[in-house]
Amino acid sequence: MSSYQVIARKWRPGVFDEVVGQAHVTRTLRNAIASGRIAHAYLFSGPRGVGKTTAARILSKCLNCSGGPTADPCNECPSCRGVALGSSVDVLEIDGASNNSVDNIREISESVRYVPSDGKYKVYIIDEVHMLSTAAFNALLKTLEEPPPHAVFIFATTEVHKIPATILSRCQRFDFKRIPFRDIQARLVEIAGQEGIKFEDKALYLIAREADGSMRDSQSLLEQALAFSGGELKEADVAEALGLMARTVLYELSEAVVGKDAGACLNIVEKVYNFGYDFKKALGDLLEHVRDLAVLKATGESTLLDLPDSELERLRAISERVGHERLQMIFTVLSKGYEEVSRSAHPRYALEMALLRAAHLDELEPLGSVMERLEILSARLGPNAAAPAPKPAGGGKGPGPLPWKKEGQEQPAKTSQPEKKALPAIETAPGAANDCGNDGLLNFVSKRIPELADSLKAASIEVVGDTITIKAENERLQGRINVSKAELEACCRDYFSRPVTLNPGAGNSGAATKKDTDPVVKDALRILGGRIIEDRRRTNV
């Protein structure tokens, strides 16, 4: 009976140079061994399948190699082969999950006193050390703090936050990181080439992407895909074997959303449903795809994208059909839809509604561009341009624009209610309408000073050159206007966009003067910092 060795074990690194994606760890360990700075306790932390246990075994080989300690173990001597096979009596690999009691740690504390049999060091590798009980950690403290010179402890964990601070302070800590996608893909290409496996680049891309930074997971997935395909790796076979949504479906879905094709979105969801894809996973993949679109749209470069070259052109073509703002809105809508799909009892319906909302989003124009266009339009119309008349109720057509006055043609008399007093024209900006009647000025001032609206409606306005005269019908209203002279003048200046002088009605200035010179009123204005809106003293009734 032949003993088959799976890819993950067969291609496990035997020296530090073969460890992928952890150069910051391997370089430090190599230099420490070369300089003789060997610590008595190491802690390797990081995600699963990134090389923690592998690095611990390589370090054990380095310490006990017949030519060592050396940073490059020979992998040929009895000590190196014993570590590789797990039969070395000087390197003990312990599972922290199943040996987590105080008694297990006491056994280690007893055996650590004995010198190694063959090698120079007695090495204890405790995997998943965070599973030890609190009592077991306490029992380990004394031994860990003052171990014999021949003892080295190597701890590995995926949950470093569960390790007590008293243990952390006694170890040299090395944080392993997720292996970059490109490094995993390159390693899979190397393995497939050495094994004589025929493959498509997209097939290995799918495996490397699904591994999510774990080299061990990628090798296990490669083994599974090989068993399904019968020896030749094709993209469709890998997707079917691993239960993945084909990349073409993602591009079809993004094209449908960007193109506002609601029917195509629903048909693709039907395809996803019939194949049996997980809707949550499918929407998660689409979110990542939209992120790739946004990154490519923003930077124009593919360095931040973990995509094969065969997909970049299609992704670039889609990104050219959509704007930055709409991409961001699509991502926001789909992110909310992801939460709904996760919680919904009917995830298919939640996915369909999320896609329909995303497909119906319109392009947005940047606010800066809108403001710039409004400023250009305002400059063309001038500061005194009249607002367009509202359409009449009932949907009927309102009166059309008045024709410009031709040279030599008299303006026809108005049949509507006559104005109280005709106002001479004031020069306006070139190209602007010449509308300086009472209504425009009254509306402008009423918005700025609402409390004077009633007083101004009952007043007459005369505009002569740069002087504006406002006369009210009675003394009380005229008094309100006179008190607010400065504020009114500022409004008129803003309205006409030029310096003007306000001249309140002379015949009614007595009341205002009386109020202005009244000591009580003056003190109230000075102390309270206010202004007179209305005088209701009995003398004014």
Lowest model confidence (mean pLDDT) among 73-87, 393-407, 527-541: 393-407
Average pLDDT along the chain:
81
Give yes or no for a contact between 239 and 206, defined as CB atoms under 8 angstroms apart. yes
Asked if residue 499 has a cis previous peptide bond (ω within 30° of 0), the answer is: no
Q: What is the largest CA-CA distance in the chain?
A: 123
Count Cβ atoms below 10 Å from residue 243 Cβ, excluding itself. Answer: 12
Average pLDDT over residues 71-99: 90
Q: Work out the angle at residue 336's Cα, subtended by the Cα atoms of residues 331 and 338, and round it to the nearest 5 degrees.
A: 90
pLDDT of residue 41: 93
- What's the Rg (C-alpha) of the chain? 42
Please state which CATH number belongs to domain 247-359.
1.20.272.10
**Whole-Å CA distances, 85 to 15, 18, 321, 474:** 15, 18, 57, 110
Where exactly are the structural domains of the chain? 7-175, 181-242, 247-359, 438-540
pLDDT band at 220 (very low <50, low <70, confident <90, very high): very high
3-state secondary structure of 119: coil
Give the residue ranges of DSSP H helices in 77-212. Answer: 78-85, 102-111, 134-145, 165-168, 181-195, 201-211
CB of 98 within 8 A of CB of 104? Answer: no
Give, as one character, the DSSP assignment of residue 268.
H
- Identify whether the C-beta of residue 127 lies closer than 8 Å to the C-beta of residue 95: yes
**How far is Cα 423 from Cα 481, in angstroms, rounded to an integer?**
20
Closest CA to 128 of 150, 104, 102, 98: 98
- Write the CA distances from 418 to 308, 310, 405, 414, 457, integer angstroms: 77, 76, 20, 8, 15
**pLDDT higher than 90, residue 171:** yes
- Residues of the chain with pLDDT > 70, as a percent, come to 81
pLDDT for position 354: 93
Pairing outcome for strands 41-45 and 151-157:
parallel
Looking at residue 448, its pLDDT comes to 79
pLDDT band at 385 (very low <50, low <70, confident <90, very high): low
Dist. CA 277–CA 243, nearest whole Å: 7
Q: What is the pLDDT of residues 461-509, one digit of tens each?
A: 777 777 888 877 677 777 777 777 788 888 888 888 788 888 776 444 4
Structure-token match 């919904």, residue found: 344
Domain 181-242 class, CATH top level: mainly alpha
Could you tell me if 222 and 207 are in contact, meaning their C-beta atoms sit under 8 angstroms apart?
yes
Q: Give me the CATH topology for the region 438-540.
A: GMP Synthetase; Chain A, domain 3 (3.30.300)
> Nearest 10 degrees: CA dihedral of 286, 291, 294, 300?
-110
Average pLDDT over residues 101-124: 89
Look at 334 and 517; give whichever has higher pLDDT. Answer: 334
Q: Is residue 253 over pLDDT 50?
A: yes
CA dihedral (203, 200, 248, 179) in degrees, to 10, reads: 40
Pick 7-175's CATH classification: 3.40.50.300, 3.30.70.141, 3.40.50.2300, 3.40.640.10: 3.40.50.300
3-state helix, strand, coil in the chain (%, to 5): 55, 10, 35
Give the pair of three-digit tokens for residue 191.
């393995």
How far is Cα 247 from Cα 493, in angstroms, rounded to an integer? 65
Report how far residue 255's alpha carbon sits from residue 318's, in angstroms, rounded to the nearest whole number.
7
Residue found under tokens 């003007």: 500
Dihedral, CA of residue 406, residue 411, residue 412 and residue 415, to nearest 10? 130
Q: What is the average per-residue pLDDT within 68-94?
A: 89
Which phi and psi angles does 473 have, rounded to 5°? Answer: -75, -30
Least confident of 77-91, 294-308, 464-478: 464-478
CB distance 249 to 272 below 8 Å: yes
H/E/C letters for each residue in 199-259? ECHHHHHHHHHHHCCCHHHHHHHHHHHHHHHCCEECHHHHHHHHCCCCHHHHHHHHHHHHC
**Can you read off the two tokens belonging to residue 125?**
């590798």
Q: Which residues contact 307 (CB under 8 A, 6 or more apart)?
A: 292, 315
When comparing pLDDT for 35 and 305, which is higher?
35
pLDDT, residue 178, reads 92
196: which residues sit within 8 A by CB, 6+ positions away?
A: none
pLDDT at 403 over 60: no
SS3 173: strand
